[in-house]
A and B are shown apart, each in its own frame.
Chain A
Amino acid sequence: MASNRENILQRDNHRPVAVEVTGLGKCYGSQEVLTDVSFRVEPGEIFVIMGPSGSGKTVLLRHLAGLESPTTGQITINGCDPTLAETRDRFALALVFQSGALLNSLSVYDNLALYPHEHRLGSKPEIRDRVMRALRILSIEHAAHKMPSELSGGMRKRVAIARALVMEPQLLLYDEPTSELDPTMAATIAEIIGSLREEYAVTSVVVSHDRDLSLTIADRVALMHEGRLHTVAPPADYRASTDPVVADFLNPKIDLKNPRFKNLEAKPS
């Protein structure tokens, strides 16, 4: 069997991968979180999974990253099981976590250099070039020597994306990339996701409940509802949809006199 390093060196970085999810189900104890989820992500596609909180989006993404094993069904990345270390080496799966998940004890530079350093993917100057290039793409060279605790939420997200870029991924997974960001920063992140696809020919799977982001950057959008895949369609179909679940998610009605919250009104003691 080839070593980690050999697998990484042998991979074809310029060929995006396909993801196939078939009949995926996940239970934690008696709680069913995902039920019979099936879809295919084409090579080079930006595939957005959206849905309300608690609909199973992040659990689904963790399965794609190989961090969880399905209870039923299967996931393949170009035909390989993502829970295996060899698959992650061969296809370079990178996950941008919602919180960034930067190693707090390392500087931004060391966070980015960790992957090439640990897998011995070059000499020190080569690793430095690789890291600085990723930082430049995200316009955060000035933060190279800062510690993660010194960064704002938006900066942490950008550093997390830069860390993923250093891996030269063929499959880039984003978990809520615009959560907790102001609209301007969210737009910047959306532009980054789009341009990375153009420049690096990566397959991107984005989990988000940000409908503007989802409908702007996606080639296709999947809507999760109560652990099931409700719809998979291009963004234009969503805008025209009359389906009540889609309509409820995209255009929720705000009723300031909702009777459900009547008893929250202050009562005289």
Chain B
Amino acid sequence: MNRIHHFLDAFGSGLIMTWRAFAMLPAAPRILKRVSEQAFLIGYTSLPIIAILCFFIGAVLALQAGISLREFGAKEFIGALVGASMARELGPVMVSIILAGRVGSAVTAELASMRVNSEIDALTTMNIPPERLLVLPRLLAVLLVMPVLTMMANLIGWFGGAMVCEYVDFIGLSADTFFRNLQTHVTFDDVLDGLIKAEVFGLVIMIIASNTGLRTRGGPREIGLAVTKAVVLSLVSILTLDYFITKLLA
């Protein structure tokens, strides 16, 4: 019972925090500098790991597809398979997982330590809402950055798949054929669906990270626990929402 109460309490406070943050949108021009700082932090620092991960995901996907499809003589469809999988599913999900682990954890740790060190209380006494100063810039930044990161992830994944097709002997498919097939079968809607997913996941991750951080009480141990909680909750939310959004967009 206590756990349910705690969950509902956290869920409610997350909704209120998000509402308060977006209610301060008219102040957005004044926080542009913070938004750009956060966008840089989220995008620039995550990009190398996203690039490595998505390159190899595209490569492995092409390799696995090559092994299976050569038996049916359908190797030329590798482009369609890798293209659609990356665009619709793996691109947004992988970017979100990296965002949860890398950025979400850092946001939770930062806000939790600000709470524990009375910095949030200091803002309250100065009548500066933490939702305006700390939450809104992060929410706007993640909304700006997620489509860009996801598109980069898609392109790098597709490139990884093409490299495998070109240079792995038993597949022996030219990159040109790979991309032509991809272009034929992957539609704009496939890419758009992925971008919609990425926006939703990014927003959810940032709301969970910020809310968990701001609700932290105690000391260093509680900061650590808050970070773990935020990352686990983000991952569960991403995969759960993924199913429902896919169903909704189908």
Question: With a CB–CB cut-off of 8 A, which chain B residues contact A94?
Answer: 125-126
Contact of A114 (CB < 8 Å), options: B110, B118, B126: B126
* B59-73 at interface with A (beta carbon < 8 Å): none
Bound together, the chains give a CA A99 to CA B118 distance in angstroms of 8
Within 8 A of B (CB), among A64-108: 65-67, 85, 88-89, 93-95, 97, 99, 101-105
Please determine whether B127 and A103 come into contact, CB atoms closer than 8 angstroms: no
Does residue B183 face the partner (Cβ distance < 8 Å to A)?
no
| A169: min CB distance to chain B, Å | 10
How far does the alpha carbon of A93 sit from the alpha carbon of B132 in the complex, in Å?
20
- A62 CA / B124 CA spacing, docked (Å): 11
> Dominant SS at the B interface?
helix
From residue A146, how far is it (CB to closest CB) to chain B in Å?
A: 17
* A76 to B122 CA separation, bound complex (whole angstroms): 20
> Are the CB atoms of A115 and B117 closer together than 8 Å?
no
| A115 partner residues in chain B, CB cutoff 8 A | 126, 128
Nearest B residue to A88, CB-CB: B127
Selected from A65, A102, A104, A118, the residue in CB contact (under 8 A) with B125 is: A65
Option from B117, B127, B128, B132 in Cβ contact (under 8 Å) with A101: B117
Total CB contacts across the A-B interface at under 8 A: 50
- In Å, the complex CA distance between A93 and B133 comes to 20
The residue in A85, A94, A101, A102 that gathers the most chain B C-beta atoms within 10 A of its C-beta is: A101
The docked-state distance in angstroms from the alpha carbon of A257 to that of B114 is 44
A102 to B127, CA, bound (A): 15
Q: In whole angstroms, how far apart are the Cα atoms of A91 and B110 in the complex? A: 31
Residue B176 lies at the interface, judged by CB distance under 8 Å to chain A: no
Which residues, 185 to 230 on A, are CB-close (under 8 Å) to B? Answer: none
Q: Mark B92-121, 1 if CB is under 8 A from A, else 0.
A: 000000000000000000100010011101
With contacts A103-B114, A104-B117 taken as known, whether A97 is within 8 angstroms of B127 at the C-beta atoms is no
Q: Which of B118, B121, B125, B133 contacts A88 (CB 8 A)?
A: B125
Q: Is the CB of A119 within 8 A of B121?
A: no
A69 to chain B, nearest CB (A): 13
- Taking a contact as CB atoms under 8 Å apart, the answer to whether A95 and B127 are in contact is no
Contacts of B117 in A (CB 8 A): 99, 101, 104
Q: Is the CB of A101 within 8 A of B126?
A: no
- Supposing A99-B117, A118-B133 touch, asked if A93 and B125 sit within 8 A by C-beta, the answer is yes
CA distance A62 to B121 in the complex (A): 9
Cβ of B122 and Cβ of A101 under 8 Å apart?
yes
Once the chains bind, are A97 and B128 in contact (CB under 8 Å)?
A: no
Name B110's closest neighbour in chain A (CB-CB): A105
* CB <8 Å contact, B122 and A85: no
Q: CB of A165 within 8 A of chain B?
A: no
Q: Contact between A104 and B128 (Cβ–Cβ < 8 Å)? A: no
Instruction: Name the one of A85, A99, A104, A105 contacting B127, with C-beta atoms under 8 angstroms.
Output: A85
For the complex formed, measure the closest distance between the CB of B50 and the CB atoms of chain A, giving whole angstroms: 25
* A interface list, Cβ under 8 A from B: 4, 62, 65-67, 85, 88-89, 93-95, 97, 99, 101-105, 114-115, 118-119, 167
15 contacts between A and B (CB under 8 A): A65-B125, A66-B125, A88-B125, A89-B127, A94-B125, A94-B126, A97-B122, A99-B117, A101-B118, A101-B121, A104-B114, A114-B126, A118-B128, A118-B133, A119-B128
Q: Which residues of B contact A (CB under 8 A)?
A: 110, 114, 117-119, 121-128, 132-133
